Amino acid sequence: MLRALTRRSSSSSNASTSLLFRLFPRSFFSRSSPATARNIRRLSAAGTTGRELFLRRDLRLLSAAASGQFSRAVSTQTAPSYPAAVLMNENVGKDEAERLGFEKFREEFISECKSKAVLFRHKKTGCEVMSVSNDDENKVFGVVFRTPPKDSTGIPHIMEHSVLCGSRKYPLKEPFVELLKGSLHTFLNAFTYPDRTCYPVASTNTKDFYNLVDVYLDAVFFPKCVDDVHTFQQEGWHYELNHPSEDISYKGVVFNEMKGVYSQPDNILGRITQQALCPENTYGVDSGGDPKDIPKLAFDKFKEFHRQFYHPSNARIWFYGDDDPVHRLRVLSEYLDMFDASPARDSSKVEPQKLFSGHRRIVEKYPAGGDGDLKKKHMVCLNWLLSEKPLDLQTQLALGFLDHLMLGTPASPLRKILLESGLGEALVNSGVEDELLQPQFSVGLKGVSDDQVQKVEELIMSTLRKLADEGFDTDAVEASMNTIEFSMRENNTGSSPRGLSLMLQSIGKWIYDMDPFEPLKYEEPLKTLKARIAEEGSKAVFSPLIEKFILNNPHRVTIEMRPDPEKASQEEAEEKNALQKVKASMTDEDLAELARATEELRLKQETPDSPEALKCVPSLNLSDIPKEPTYIPSEVGDINGVKVLRHDLFTNDILYTEVVFDMGSLRHELLPLVPLFCQSLLEMGTQDLSFVQLNQLIGRKTGGITVYPFTSSVWGSDVPCSKIIVRGKSMVGRAEDLFNLMNCVLQEVRFTDKQRFKQFVSQSRARMENRLRGSGQGIAAARMDAMLNAAGWMSEQMNGLSYLEYLHTLEQKVDQDWEGISSSLEEIRTSLLSKNGCIVNMTADGKSLTSTEKVVGKFLDSLPEKASGGQVTWDARLPLRNEAIVIPTQVNYVGKAGNIYSSGYKLDGSSYVISKHIGNTWLWDRVRVSGGAYGGFCDFDSHSGVFSFLSYRDPNLLKTLDIYDGTGDFLRGLDVDEDTLTKAVIGTIGDVDSYQLPDAKGYSSLLRHFLNVTDEERQIRREEILSTSLKDFKEFAEAVDSVRDKGVAVAVASQEDIDAANKERSNFFKVKKAL
């Protein structure tokens, strides 16, 4: 996964882009996932409980992160409390460290994460090791190398993919995939940044954790790829020629991944920004690889890169969790002692970019569709390199607060003024970026008219000038302070391990030979900053920062991106022309040899490892797996006639709550308005409060409020589950404020601000267009679901291509019939708000839950007794047909799906094991490895019965559909031994038992309640998983055949590839042009 400087997306509402507040990097490239979704092998929307629900791993939750409709990104987890006595016993004595070849040269207790951190140095190689000890069972390991590239051939990115394709101790094709299949990992991936490469793993099971550690250590230090050109060709690039009479093409996983990246305008802007700001150092090239340059990379250079940089002397190693710190050093010494010191640490240093003496301007083009008014599709972004030297923590913290004040919420002045100006549709590439050596700041707009570009620049500069002169509103400063401090103390890392978040924060300084402890310790700098604001006033703190780092900073680059409907086809033509020249230069013997080499590579890719080779990868036994699922404490009660679910869990004095309303009374035609209704609740004002005041009040009093729709099929029922969920959190002592503000949002907000609503529509359209380009597999999946079941149709109306089409129409309608739209928004409210059918879900410790009952009762009593309108029947579908959605792209997203319940399949837990195995073997090998796509995967929605196949950044179309159709034959011909079957079962249990923090546990329990998933049924499915046999695989082939025979295909692809497909298979696709 390549880490790129794309900053926040146009729809982001992150609390801050600063590394100090951001717990994970926003976008980077990895071995198994796109920047927009941590793991493309799973389709869960951000915010779902995913695999934890057990009966389905990708419920349609239009969460804040997924749909961008809501007022702020809400962190959702609490900091663990670790007994200090335990930590103080986790010592590694000096003599013990010396015996293992390490010197201990720094040790601190980090109160912010209740951990003891010890920094060791390996005496022989100089490798530094950070050993962080606490009682967090979710253990994390990571090894990080500084890997600055000199060109844009993508060598660090290709290396990151390749080292995990077999090693000295594990000489099979892809140990990484074997770990995906059969471990209990809570994190397993790798990242390539512009200047470093990270290899992190995590697990709650100690035996499994050290299995992962050993595979990764052997992979990075002793990979097979440096002696195997086939791996380089597979993961990087190669010429492919099936027959001497055919055309030559480029293939390679990274090559096609980057073609997808370079098809997205926001990503293109991010790369141009980084390279324009730092043209003289390593950031002036693309570590991920430019598709035009990747074919220039030679194998010898690839090998030398590993020799130069993948050495312990150039490594930083991280351990975190409740495992034995002595054992950590013991494991490391076995590897590190095999090396001598290397000059790699010196040769890999990143030199700073010297500041410019004056402003620069760049104009570039991006690929655009031919539809719409292209004169209104420009992007303009102003970018600053803030300092020639890294900033001290106090300044960095203050800049992070400043960033949040200016851009972090819809009420933030710079963001608000830009969006309300009417000069553009949405923010792009905006915020502070401080994960690299020198911090940067950018702010820009997309959807700008060609004659308004200069006005955008002037507005940005004049607004910054005004903010420097006048400062910020006191309530805004208080809201930002509370929001950021709440987030830092709560330590939100989503579904990913906290230890990984800390590692990435620490490495942001450590990798540049600075203090790795400093980023982990925010209490003192935060205390100092708050004291300065209290004593001097916020203007004295923030205005000098705006003056120094932005207004008076000559290192500014303005980038204008112009739409070009011909660019995509021109680039394809240039690539074809280059390949034709290559073929023309070859003799008949050369062509025959290339065809032979192509077949040789394909044969190697499609030949499975022997059972003997597979046994070398360490794995758990079934005896290591609990026979029962994890149970969440849950009590169903009643407050004033409303059902209340209570989850007695330690949450560090934070109350997490969801208030849920049924959508059963909503008229069909209002459904596409629901996401905008949700946004309006949080971003329009009341009679007494402007939306800015309301937003600030939420920020000052709570940890955040979000509102979003949720839909899913329900197993055994024809009636879909459709809800509106209001999520909020606060300190327990602020529970009354939280519920009062929820009531204000739900009942007092007025739908009267036409201009703001127009902004919402424009922002939503821009976001959906960006999603279509960057996450086409999600659009294809939603489209197929909408053809196959009612819940899918509902979801697609609110977050799919139908929604995008609706937004295009709505933009015109706002001016023509605002009164009607406003009335429709009010009708949605009256159709939803009701005590009847309402559910309240609360997660906190028992005492806190009891203390909030009166507050909850008061809130519920304020709700209407009944909703307006009668119950509506939801049974709509899109027409069942093969569909191709045309966008300007260099890669495709290919899907096929069918309802296997309709063909007679009866749900069994073995289906989870089988679908996971299909994805990790057949689809991985055929779609990704030999097909060259970045990803190929399948998903079984056991609630609806829909079994779907999907590919991501795929150079193929019909070929991929043929692979899907061959799945049944693959299963029938399968011959798996007991070890392989055991791995598949264990890997599935790892999905089901994924690590959860308290708020996620409470939320999972709520969704199970909606979907009638009982603990008894979870136990039955678990037993079926554990007893899965080869016979189950063979029998499932018939179910998969029904997808082949009766399923529907949807592709998001280029016009050229769709035309070729329809020519090869006459009118196979019904074509829809989207962009």
Rounded to an integer, what distance in angstroms lies between the CA atom of residue 598 and that of residue 585? 18
- Beta-ladder partners of 122: 102
Residue 24 has pLDDT above 90, yes or no: no
For residue 547, CA distances in Å to 25, 433, 464 come to 27, 18, 9
Q: CB of 154 within 8 A of CB of 254?
A: yes
For residue 515, CA distances in Å to 292, 387, 510 come to 38, 19, 6
Q: What are phi and psi of 509, to 5 degrees?
A: -105, -45
Residue 568 has pLDDT above 80, yes or no: yes
DSSP character string of 552-618: T---EEEEEEEEETTHHHHHHHHHHHHHHHHHHTS-HHHHHHHHHHHHHHHHHHHSPPPHHHHTTS-
Q: Which of 910, 1018, 1005 is nearest to 627 (CA)?
A: 1018
pLDDT exceeding 90 applies to what percent of the chain?
Answer: 84
| 75-79, 645-649, 721-725: the lowest-pLDDT one | 75-79
Residue 67 has pLDDT above 50, yes or no: no
Rounded to an integer, what distance in angstroms lies between the CA atom of residue 945 and that of residue 760? 35
Give the pLDDT confidence of 542-555 residue by residue, as tens digits: 999 999 999 999 99
pLDDT score of 494 = 80
Structure tokens at 483: 């929001």
Residue 804 has pLDDT above 70, yes or no: yes
3-state secondary structure of 953: coil
pLDDT score of 663 = 95
Which whole number is the average pLDDT over 691-712? 96
Residue 149 has pLDDT above 80, yes or no: yes
Residue 69 has pLDDT above 90, yes or no: no
Give the pLDDT confidence of 907-963 residue by residue, as tens digits: 999 999 999 999 999 999 999 999 999 999 999 999 999 999 999 999 999 999 999
Rounded to an integer, what distance in angstroms lies between the CA atom of residue 902 and that of residue 354? 65
- 487: CB partners within 8 A, 6+ apart: 15, 21, 75, 703
Which whole number is the average pLDDT over 870-889? 93
Structure tokens at 448: 């700008």
28 in the Ramachandran plot: left (φ > 0), alpha (ψ -120 to 50) or beta? beta
pLDDT score of 340 = 96
Give CA 103 to chain center in angstroms.
38
Q: CB of 760 within 8 A of CB of 27?
A: no
246 is catalytic: no
pLDDT score of 491 = 85
The strand ranges marked E within 436-549 are 440-448
Q: CB of 278 within 8 A of CB of 284?
A: yes
Catalytic residue among 52, 160, 178, 560: 160
Which whole number is the average pLDDT over 486-499? 88
Enter the pTM of the model. 0.90
The strand ranges marked E within 212-298 are 238-240, 249-251
Residue 569 has pLDDT above 70, yes or no: yes
Rounded to an integer, what distance in angstroms lies between the CA atom of residue 490 and that of residue 1000? 13
160 is catalytic: yes
pLDDT score of 31 = 52
Place 79 in a pLDDT band, splitting at 50, 70 and 90.
Answer: very low
Give the pLDDT confidence of 277-310 residue by residue, as tens digits: 999 999 999 999 999 999 999 999 999 999 999 9
Which whole number is the average pLDDT over 187-206? 96
Q: Over the chain, what is the mean pLDDT? A: 90
Rounded to an integer, what distance in angstroms lies between the CA atom of residue 311 and that of residue 549? 37
Residue 87 has pLDDT above 80, yes or no: no
Q: What is the CA radius of gyration of the chain?
A: 28
Residue 372 has pLDDT above 80, yes or no: no
Place 870 in a pLDDT band, splitting at 50, 70 and 90.
Answer: confident
pLDDT score of 2 = 54
Q: CB of 266 within 8 A of CB of 770?
A: yes
Q: CB of 949 within 8 A of CB of 925?
A: no
- 281: CB partners within 8 A, 6+ apart: 350, 351, 352, 353
Q: CB of 630 within 8 A of CB of 993?
A: yes
The strand ranges marked E within 748-838 are none
Q: CB of 255 within 8 A of CB of 932?
A: yes
Rounded to an integer, what distance in angstroms lies between the CA atom of residue 155 and that of residue 148? 10
Rounded to an integer, what distance in angstroms lies between the CA atom of residue 782 and that of residue 779? 5
Higher pLDDT, 494 or 61: 494
Residue 49 has pLDDT above 80, yes or no: no
pLDDT score of 30 = 53
Catalytic residue among 52, 174, 235, 560: 235
